[in-house]
């Protein structure tokens, strides 16, 4: 039986940027990554609407969504300054997350995906 990670990431399994981001996080942090399309979301107290709208992180008895989830994962990965910037900028950090989430097919996100795929 597989031991469940203490950090679960529920993401869009059909999004190349999302997959590249999860892979990048997993290079330094042990997370159980689950595509929301293939996951029983009810076991995490989530709906399809929540999971399709933003990445969800379940850790330490809490659920983080969107920019807060990214900030949490970055902090766990050791990118504490970037995590702080996302959190400290509040609405701007959330706007940045939402922009990426709604522009997945843009050239800029495609470039960011390639950078993540090549980064350590």
- State the CB neighbour count (10 A cutoff) for residue 84: 14
Task: Name which of 41, 59, 45, 55 is nearest 5 in CA terms.
Answer: 59
Domain ranges of the chain: 7-110
- CA–CA distances in Å: residue 69 to residues 23, 43, 97, 118: 15, 18, 10, 22
Give residue-wise pLDDT tens across range 88-100. 999 999 999 999 9
Report the predicted TM-score, pTM, of the whole model to 2 decimal places.
0.90
Quote the distance between the C-alpha of residue 82 and its chain's center: 14
Confidence band (pLDDT; 50, 70, 90) for 2? very low
Is the confidence at residue 3, as pLDDT, over 80? Answer: no
Q: In what order do the strands lie in the sheet with 62-65?
A: 32-35, 7-11, 56-59, 62-65
Residue 63 three-state SS:
strand
For residues 109 and 21, give the distance between their C-alpha atoms in angstroms, rounded to a whole number.
Answer: 11
């Amino acid at each position: 039986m597989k031991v469940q990670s203490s950090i679960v990431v529920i993401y869009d399994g059909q999004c190349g940027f999302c997959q590249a981001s999860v892979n990048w996080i997993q290079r330094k942090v042990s997370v159980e990554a689950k595509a929301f399309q293939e996951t029983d979301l009810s076991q995490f107290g989530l709906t399809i609407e929540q999971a399709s709208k933003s990445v969800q992180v379940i850790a330490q008895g809490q659920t983080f969504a969107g920019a807060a989830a990214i900030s949490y994962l970055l902090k766990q990965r050791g990118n504490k300054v970037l995590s702080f910037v996302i959190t400290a900028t509040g609405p701007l950090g959330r706007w940045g997350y939402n922009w990426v989430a709604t522009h997945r097919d843009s050239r800029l996100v495609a470039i960011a995906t390639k950078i993540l795929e090549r980064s350590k």
